Structure 1
């Protein structure tokens, strides 16, 4: 019998959903608005899911969904997990027979391990380590947000660059090429004019400085090199704290935009003496892997077929 499954990866800025069947065909995929309840009401979360399902299920004569795994950010507490599950059931126009809601870190991990246990470090706008042991026990380290944590993250790197170029404006540090680079990025003629801009802009705008800092570091700017070196040390410490939780060496997965920075990536790979996995698939593949492992008896051929389609269309 041909069963239908729903895989969801939900974050603060976007939600990725894939509908597929048990014969190995991806029927549809939709990317919609974020669904993190920490940034909106549960009514808004439900509304975003409704819009997502309206596009995902368009022109499909589907009557029911056998199973759904939704890895959602902001689901770190049993009460939140229940509320998010209620949002999903209310929003979906079709009955979902089996629904599991978990942390979006699970998707990130499983996108590199095909659903197996291990450790993932997510380094994008923010940073966090999430682990699942062989016995199923899970833990998280970091991810406390830009005010109290997110060490080594894109926001942290961008903030440090801004802080240092403002110090050069005060003649407390030597001016480097970063001053001109940041002036161009924020479109200001005097570097001090970025202050009212950065206090109003979103975190991803500040994190967007990472490619610029990386470029200047590659071209020899000593300040850019130091900022990336300091971020690497923070990420190494974060990763090591996760590895210390395991009795035996786990699979280690690295996910997020920070790993596009060659200097950071090479520093981490040199410092950590374990094989590192950089997933080729987006995190929603981790949710697909969970569905297959949970309800299709870990069918490797099925999983391979779905992964190939996802890579082809991503």
Structure 2
């Protein structure tokens, strides 16, 4: 049975799938470890090779039509050609290399033109139109990443510290400390300065949990969603024909309050917008890439 291999190689793990030409998933495996070509080229290369060999152990590579790899760090790396060549020399199969975001767009938008909004630990918005990619946001947590999990955590802590500065008592601060397991605000601040961005972003889940019954938490979530929606609108103004918006990232896909606010703001600008979420891993984007590009595959 002929199939394509899709690989979603991100910062903390790599997912590989084999998908037949009718879209049925034949094999999937997840490997924990760095998959960012910019951070660790050698480790990423070896890990991806091992995963492809794992597919070969279950499905003969002689039936594989193409290996499509979406890889983090690619847009800023000068080693893309070398990486592609090493994969090809190892397996002697056509290799397509793209950013992990591009593969995500193929998956969520199912190969169609549109906009992909991502809100996870970080955030960014991308537009795809006739194979051209445009971007708004995604400048990193020190500068932007509006609407991300980290942004929600930052807004939350800024409100709490401002309340302390103004001697302002409020239910939100006490409830947040209780839910997040901190006795005092000082304990929260100490924890923040001893943890990394990913850990800090997890505080957003606490704010989201409180939001249905607390007006301040609701305001924080709504304002974050509004800022991400504004970035989408920037791209819609550039290309009003984009009527499909893909939603991706844990904040956007699992937080109902956030997603509803995000969609309301965008629909107030363009009522005909259609929103889609994919239940599949982004490695599945390889199937849609093949569907639209199978006539142009280079051996």
TM over 0.5: yes
SS in 1 for 2:57: coil
- Select which of 111, 114, 119 maps to 1:123: 119
Aligned-partner Cα distance in 1 for 2:77–2:199? 32
2:250 maps to 1:251:
no
The superposition leaves residues 216-259 of structure 1 with CA deviations (integer Å, 9 ceiling, x where unpaired) of 1201x232122112202211111111212215233211111112
Range that drifts further, 198-207 or 117-126: 198-207
2:170 maps to 1:159:
no
State the shift of 1:268 in Å. 1.8
The superposition leaves residues 67-87 of structure 1 with CA deviations (integer Å, 9 ceiling, x where unpaired) of 121122222257353244245
Correspondence for 2:270: none
TM-score, scaled to structure 1 = 0.82
The superposition leaves residues 154-199 of structure 1 with CA deviations (integer Å, 9 ceiling, x where unpaired) of 11101221222233333454333344433542x3322211223222
2:91 maps to 1:94:
yes
Correspondence for 2:194: 200
Correspondence for 1:170: 165
SS in 1 for 2:74: coil
SS in 2 for 1:146: coil
SS in 2 for 1:254: strand
Aligned-partner Cα distance in 2 for 1:15–1:147? 26
Q: 1:118 to 1:162 in 2, by over 3 A?
A: same
2:235 maps to 1:242:
yes
State the shift of 1:102 in Å. 1.1
SS in 1 for 2:65: strand
State the shift of 1:42 in Å. 0.9
SS in 1 for 2:243: coil
Correspondence for 1:108: 104
Query: Which residues of structure 1 form unaligned runs of 5+?
Result: 298-314
2:273 maps to 1:278:
no
State the shift of 1:64 in Å. 6.5
State the shift of 1:54 in Å. 4.4
After superposing on structure 2, the runs of 4+ consecutive aligned residues of structure 1 that deviate more than 6 Å are none
Correspondence for 1:312: none
CA RMSD of aligned residues (A): 2.5
Q: 1:80 to 1:225 in 2, by over 3 A?
A: farther
- Select which of 217, 227, 231 maps to 1:224: 217
Range that drifts further, 239-248 or 163-172: 163-172
The number of aligned residues is: 289
**Conserved? CA contact 1:64–1:94, under 8 Å:** no
TM-score, scaled to structure 2 = 0.86
Query: Which residues of structure 2 form unaligned runs of 5+?
Result: 268-272
